[in-house]
Every structure is written in C-alpha cells, then in structure tokens.
Amino acid sequence: MVDRFVEAGCEVFGCARSGETVLEIARTYGPPHDFACVDVSDDRAVGRWTERLIAAGKVPDLLINNAGLINASRELWKVPADEFAEVVDVNIRGVFHVIRHFLPAMIEQGRGVVVNFSSGWGRSVAPEVAPYCATKFAVEGLTLALAEELPGGLAAVALNPGVIATDLLRSCFGPSAEHYPSPDEWSQRAVPFLLSLGPQDNGASLTAPG
C-alpha cells in the first residue's frame, strides 16, 4: 500500500513492529514520508509516536489500522492463553490505541476517514481460527459504534480486504494461498478504493475490490 499511496502523491507515515521492515521502507521513501518501529499493542509507544507526528503537523486524512495477527490453526480449547492474548492485543487493543491517540487531532481539523481492517472472518467463521474471528468481529462492532460517535466530516469504516496471499493466509491455507492475489496486485485495486472513501461512507462495512 505504501508504494501505491506514494505513487498517488500522498504523504505517508506509518509504523510496524519489525525494525528491519521499517528501515527498508524509510530508505526507499525519505522525507516528507515518515516511518517508525512501533508495536501498536503498546499504548505508551503509540502515544509517543503519534505525539511526535501531530506536533510536526502530520494529522492523517486517512487513518488505516491494518496490523493483525492470527493464531496457529487449532481448536479454541487448545490455543495457549498467551497466544490468545497476543492476538487480542494487536487486533483489538492496537486498533483502539491508534484511534485514541490520532482521532482528537483529526476531529480538531474537521476531516478524516478511519479504516479498520476487518476480515471475511469478521463476518463469518471457520474452525481453528476462533481467536482471530473473535477479534475481527470485535473490529466490526467497534467501528460501527465509533461511527455513531463521530462529528460531521469524519467517517469510520470497517473494511474486509478480501483474500490476499500473505504469510498470514499461508499459515491457514498452505500452498493454496498462492491462488489469491499478491499484496502488490491487491494494492493496485485497493488503494484507489481507499482514497475514494469519505464522510458519506461513515458506518459502512465494506469489502475491497477483488
């Protein structure tokens, strides 16, 4: 997505908890773009990151929460407690942390769209991924409730990105994951769609074009 947003003329700032990945993106796209190593499950770390950006005038017009983990495929009662907690911490608390630190500045500027990545498994279920399903159902509910709280000019949208050949999908689908679009192929269609979202979409549960 970063490649597509930059190509579209956007100023992009983002984070990941993989320092190596962040450095690679930062080397590719220097200022005014901004990338940092941040674990979204750490509220204090998110707060420091967002405070620095907002102080520099970097308030998002489009805020995308797409960090996500999935549990190793197994029945719910066999999922270790710490693994369940980590999925919840990233997939739900991470979304909350980013929203709570950025949204006041977005409200103050009077515009902005918050897109929280859900999943097909946030609207239906499958066996052996119950923790992931639970968190994505939670993202749907959180987003719909947030949409009712926002002032005019802003929007909150839950987005099912569709099925993409990522490492996350490979952990569930194995080799058959390669039958689906690569992240690069997906981004060619998804980013223009994301850039088209506006206040009229507030409260929508959408699916990215396939």
Average pLDDT over residues 65-69: 95
Residue range(s) defining the domain that contains residue 104: 60-207
Catalytic site positions:
132
- pLDDT top residue among 166 and 90: 90
Instruction: List C-alpha distances in Å: 191 to 3, 14, 81, 85.
Output: 10, 15, 36, 31
Per-residue pLDDT of 108-124, as tens digits, reads 999 999 999 999 999 99
pLDDT at 175: 77
**Domain tally for the chain?**
1
In a domain, 23, yes or no: no
- HEC per residue, 7-60: HCCCCCEEEECCHHHHHHHHHHCCCCCEEEECCCCCHHHHHHHHHHHHHCCCCC
In a domain, 189, yes or no: yes
In a domain, 52, yes or no: no
CATH of the domain at 130: 3.40.50.720
In a domain, 90, yes or no: yes
